[in-house]
Amino acid sequence: MAKTAVIAIGGNSLITDKEHQSVPDQYQACAETCDHIASMIQRTGVHLVITHGNGPQVGFILRRAELAAKELHMVPLDSCVADTQGALGYHIQRALYNEFQRLGFTKTAVTVVTQVLVDKDDPAFKKPNKPIGSFMSQSQAEEHRAKDKWDVVEDAGRGWRRVVASPIPKEIMELEAIKDLLAKDFVVVAVGGGGIAVVRDEKDQLAGAAAVIDKDLASSLLARQLGADYLIISTAVEKVYLNFGKPDQKALDRITVAEAKTHMAEGHFKPGSMLPKIQAVIDFLEGGGKEAIITNPEHLELALAGKTGTHIVP
């Protein structure tokens, strides 16, 4: 039977650098990653769910809203995430369609706009610390605090920024739809940007939350709830390193969860970079996953074949 994998593609797969941020540039970067993904699907027959980041794209939407504030309403954060799920999902669908055509096999990708439940009492809501959007003056920040109920902080002398909570994902609300699509052999794009954060009220109704969910943690949760064989995290490097960037850096080929925890405790993985990826992998493997792989887009096929990348096992 074909195995199931969740692959989380990072920001470098969508925006390569500051000089290439336009929508056509983003599509081109996405198409290059989808070239590798399509080849991997063709050669392995793996059932695949693709998740993706959206940080810069949400920032662009918020900046447009700020510039247009005298003419148009602000866009709530949950709607920003939904917007990016649709737009980036479309890019992935189109790029994969074109690659499947080029490779000469029939396959269809579909995007599921995905809500992810978080606990309204998550401690993260009491201490928002995830910066989003552009820098502001103190007067602008205070105006948003009063008018829009934003949490704002001064950022290392560079100006003021909005901060939001980054709560732990608890439940993928569209899980059954994703399962059904996988069973029908679709490639599914889901949980974009970590999912649209929603909370349940006292009447069991869902409401959007002003929060962002870590994409790798949400991908790990999705992989566990699907019973996936693999969690693959596509990032900027071919392998994970100890002492990364130092003269004595050492590539990791294959490690266990226990070894990953040791390296994490020793401070080898940086917050906002490799640390959440390693934590997501540990959660997946401790939740029943068989294997996790961390590598860059161009090595996806070889990594799945066991020839490169960092492989983490229970």
89 flagged as catalytic: no
Tokens read off for 135: 């820098």
Check 11, 59, 159, 287 and give the catalytic one.
Answer: 11
Tallying the residues shown for the chain, one arrives at 314
- Write the CA distances from 243 to 240, 280, 311, integer angstroms: 10, 20, 18
- Edge-to-edge strands of the sheet including 160-164? 130-136, 160-164, 151-154
179 flagged as catalytic: no
CA pseudo-torsion sign 118, 293, 5, 297: positive
Check 215, 289, 296, 309 and give the catalytic one.
Answer: 215
261 flagged as catalytic: no
12 flagged as catalytic: yes
277 flagged as catalytic: yes
Check 3, 12, 170, 290 and give the catalytic one.
Answer: 12
The Cα 50–Cα 189 span in angstroms is 5
Check 53, 89, 130, 289 and give the catalytic one.
Answer: 130
The residues pairing with 250 across neighbouring beta strands, listed in sequence order, are: 242
Nearest to 150 by CA among 119, 121, 117, 128: 128
Check 277, 289, 296, 309 and give the catalytic one.
Answer: 277
Nearest to 69 by CA among 174, 140, 149: 140
Residues annotated catalytic, as ranges: 11-12, 130, 215, 277
